[in-house]
Chains A and B, each alone.
Chain A
Amino acid sequence: MEFSGARAVHVTQGDVRRLCEFLYRRTGMSFDNNKRYYIDRRLAERIAATHSGSFQSYFAMLRSDAEHEIEHLINAFTVNETYFYREDHQLRCMTSHLLSTLLQRRKTGDPIRIWSIPCSTGEEPYSIAIWLMENWSEVDNHNIEIVASDIDSRALNSAAEGFYGARALMRLSRQLVDRYFAPVDEGRVRIDPGLRESVQFTRANLIDPQDMARYRDFDIVFCRNVLIYFDDASRRLAAENLYDCLRPGGYICLGHSETMSRISSLFSVCRFPEAIVYQRPEAKHV
C-alpha cells in the first residue's frame, strides 16, 4: 500500500499485522483482514498527521506513546464522538433493573448517587437525567444526585454551559429536543436551565488515588470508553479507584468494547437482558 501525501509511505501486510497485534494487546480491539481497507485508511491518516517518514518510525513513536499517539490512534479506530443517548441500552438497564435492585437494600431517604466519568462535554450526564425523567416512574419519589467529572476543564466548562449542535442530538426524538432544549442560533440549542443546575460538574483524574478519594458512595458509575486508552497497570489502578468510589452492591457501566474481567477481579459480572454491567460485591472478604 502506498499513501499519498507530502511523501508516499509504503506499508506492508506485515506492518499492518504488527500494528493490529499491538492494538489488540494494548486495548483488546481486534481487527482481521476483512477490515484491511479500514485499517489502512486510519493508519495512513496517523502516519501523515505525525509526519512519520516510514511505518517503522511511526510504530516506534506509537510504542513509546510519544505525543500521546496511542490515544490518537485509538481515537482513529473508535467512534470517539459523544452524543445524547449513546449506548442507551445501558440507560434502559439502569431503569429496568439496576435502580430497583439498589432500592431494595437501602434506607428510605438516602439519595441515589450516579456518577458520569469521564463526562466530556456533558452529553452523558444530561442523557442520564433526561432518561430518568422520561423512563423511570419512581423518579419523583427519590432524591437523585448526578455528578459528572472529567480531567479536561475545558470540556467541563463546555458541559456546564450546555450548548449543543445537531449531531449531538441525533438520537433524540423531536419531542425530547423540544422539551429539554431551547434554540439559540442556527443549528445550536442550549439545554434546559433546570437540567444544567441538576448536574454537578467536577474535575477528576481517574488514575489519581488522592484525587479519587474525594468521590465516595456512588450507586451507579458510568465509566465508558476511557479504560481502553490506559495501559494494564493504569487500568488496574482505575479499577481499584472506582471500587472505592462505589457503595457495596453498586454498579459500574463500561463502554461496549471494554470488559472489567480483563482488568480486575474486584467486580462481579451481572448479565441483564439489556447490558452487561459490573458490581462491587456486597459481602466483605475476610
Chain B
Amino acid sequence: MPFIKRAPFAERTNAESANGLTRHLSELNSPDAEIRWHAARALGGFAPAVPALAVALEAEKVPHVREAMMTALMRVGDEASVRALLPYLRSQDAHLRAAAIEALQALPEAVAPFMEALLGDTDADVRILATELARNMPPEDAARALCSLLANELHPNVCAAAIEVLAEVGTRDAVPALEACAQRFSNTPFLPFAVSATIARISSTES
C-alpha cells in the first residue's frame, strides 16, 4: 500500500495564553495580510479583542481579511461586537454589507435591542437590511416589528422587503397592517400584488 499514517493527532489545545492574545492583537496591524488573517482568526470569540478588531476592521482593505474580522466579531456575539458590525450595513461595498448582515443574522438576541433604531433608520437601505435581520428574531417579535414598520413606511422597497419576511414569519395578525400598506401604495402595483400573495399564504396556513 502506498499510504502512510502519521502519529495520532494531539488533543485540542486549550485557549490561547495571554502572551498569544497580546501577540495576535499586535498582528492585526501587520503589513502582511496573511498575518492579519491568522490574527483575526485566532482572536475570534475573545471579547477583550473586540475594540482592536473593530479598529482593524475599519482600516482593513483586503476582502477575505475583513470577512475573517467580521466572523471573529460574530463569534464574540456580545453588544460591543454588534456595535462594531452595525456601521457596515451602510457600506457602499456590497460584499461588506453582505458579510455584516450574515454575521448579525447569527446574533438575533444581541441584535434585538438595536432593531427599533435600525427599522427607523433614515437610510432606506439600512431599513431593508433590518427587515432581513428581523427574519431571525422570534416570529411574534419579528411580525410585530415589521407590522409597525409597515404602518408608517414611505419607501415601497422597504415595504416590499418587510412583506417578503412577513410571508415567512407572519400570522393572520399581520393582515390588517398588510392591507393598509396595500391601500397606501395602490398606485405602486407590485406592492398590492405582494400583499395579496402574502395574505393568501398566511391565511391558507392557518385555515
Q: Which A residues lie at the B interface, using CB under 8 A?
A: 10, 12-15, 17-18, 21-22, 55-56, 59-60, 63, 111, 129, 132-133, 139-140, 142-146, 194-195, 197-200, 202, 209-211, 213-215, 231-234, 236-237, 240, 243-244, 264-266, 284-286
Contacts and interface: CB of A to CB of B under 8 A. Distances in A.
Given A15-B201, A214-B9, 10 more contacts: A14-B201, A14-B205, A18-B168, A133-B2, A143-B3, A197-B1, A209-B45, A264-B64, A265-B64, A286-B31
Given A12-B207, A22-B168, A266-B64, A214 B10 contact: yes
Contact of B102 (A132, A202, A213, A236): A236
B32 A286 contact: yes
Given A210-B13, A240-B41, A13 B31 contact: no
Describe B's contact surface by its main secondary structure.
Answer: helix
B168 to A, nearest CB: 6
Contacts of A199: 3, 5
A145 B12 contact: no
A209 B41 contact: yes
A21 B167 contact: yes
A274 to B, nearest CB: 22
B205 A197 contact: no
B173 interface: no
A140 B2 contact: yes
Contacts of B64: 243, 264-266, 285
A200 B8 CA distance: 8
Contacts of A12: 204-205, 207
B2 A144 contact: yes
Given A210-B12, A265-B63, A285 B33 contact: yes
Contacts of A145: 3-6
A142 B205 CA distance: 60
Interface in B128-187: 139, 167-169, 171
